[in-house]
Amino acid sequence: MTSGMSRIQKLAASSAFLAFLTLASLPGQASPLPNNALPDLVEKILPSVVNISSTTVTDVRVFGMEEFFQFWGVPQEYPQTSLGTGFILDKDGFVMTNAHVVEHATEVMVTLNDKREFAAKIVGKDQKLDLAILQIRDKDRKVPANLVPSTFGDSNSVRIAESVFAVGNPMGLGHTVTMGIISAKNRTIGVGPFDNFLQTDASINPGNSGGPLFNLKGEVIGINTVIYSRVGQSGGLGFAIPSISATQVIPDLKRYGRVPRPWLGVLARELSPGLVRHYRIPVDKGVLVYNLVRGAPAVEAGIKQGDIIVGMDQTAVGNPDELERALASRKPNESAKLKIKRGNRSIELNVKFEELPRLDNLPKGII
């Protein structure tokens, strides 16, 4: 009996060892970390992550009541503070975060892992991708010493079920580390035209926005941005902007303070089966133009209300997001040929693009 048990134990141990070797040798699969490797890695990257506090002043003045409020000492402006996370890009003091973390902020403060605090200037924002770049300076307007920059990894090579960890400032609890896996890639969740999120079950809560999602090499592969939750806290559904999307816009945000993108100047919606049936539309996929901005490139090109955009050059478009992504591959002042369905006719119109104006001055959903 003892001999039989010994053979079973040996067989089990041998099988476990072979399974370990198989997993460790899978292509693209990271070898299991030694016991102390993850704490050592986290200790190394923590100085690259920052806490962000932004203050927005809300005007609550009521017309005709200013003297009354002044007499009774009632404040007519209220400061509101929001918390977020960011990470250091380089030794010049540039920091990346989400645009919504610093939206309408009148003051932004950045706190490093060593508790040093610095005022930050908003260098550039891209609301469509929800990214922003800040720059920190000390009281002498010099770049702070001993900054530890983050390193970007390749989000395209990330695999589903790969282990990752997030570092952030949830509920004001700075430099909190949570771990999980990549649950899915290329997620479209209806947040914006460039949805292409990495989904993770690493715990992400309010205050994590703008913080890094790391792989087990300590590389930033995503920027934590959105959570899906019925209670406003982590439900295991967190979404991060892929690092490849972030690195593409950094040069423009530093140089121009924005990402120069072309626009058409149309308000549009996706064709639905109900619209197709009711109006007897001859196509079942396309972008229905229901309004135009006066003087915009679309008007100059001859696009009319009721036109259905079905393609741009050689790219077919079936919804507004696809149209925006096609536009994003172009630059202002370039031209393209739009394929239009107008009634029962198929036409082509040449459009010369212009740069998208400030989003503050445009209707929501403009393309």
Pairing of strands 131-137, 266-270: unpaired
Contacts of 254 (CB under 8 A, 6+ apart): 94, 123, 124, 133
Annotated catalytic residue within 48, 53, 183, 209: 209
Annotated catalytic residue within 48, 54, 130, 150: 130
3-state secondary structure the chain: CHHHHHHHHHHHHHHHHHHHHHHHCCCCCCCCCCCCHHHHHHHHHHHHEEEEEEEEEEECCCCCCHHHHHHCCCCCEEEEEEEEEEEECCCCCEEEECHHHCCCCCEEEEECCCCCEEEEEEEEEECCCCEEEEEEECCCCCCCCCCCCCCECCHHHCCCCCEEEEEECHHHCCCEEEEEEEEEEEECCCCCCCCCEEEECCCCCCCCCCCEEECCCCCEEEEEEEECCCCCCCCCCEEEEEHHHHHHHHHHHHHHCCCCCEECCEEEEECCHHHHHHCCCCCCCCEEEEEECCCCHHHHHCCCCCCEEEEECCEECCCHHHHHHHHHCCCCCCEEEEEEEECCEEEEEEEECEECCCHHHCCCCCC
Q: Which two tokens stand for residue 344?
A: 């029962």
CA–CA distance, 28 with 222 (Å, rounded to integer) = 19
Annotated catalytic residue within 53, 54, 82, 100: 100
Q: Tell me whether residue 130 is one of the annotated catalytic residues.
A: yes
Contacts of 251 (CB under 8 A, 6+ apart): none
Of the candidates 199, 188, 211, the residue with the CA atom closest to the CA atom of residue 235: 199
Active-site amino acid positions: 100, 130, 209
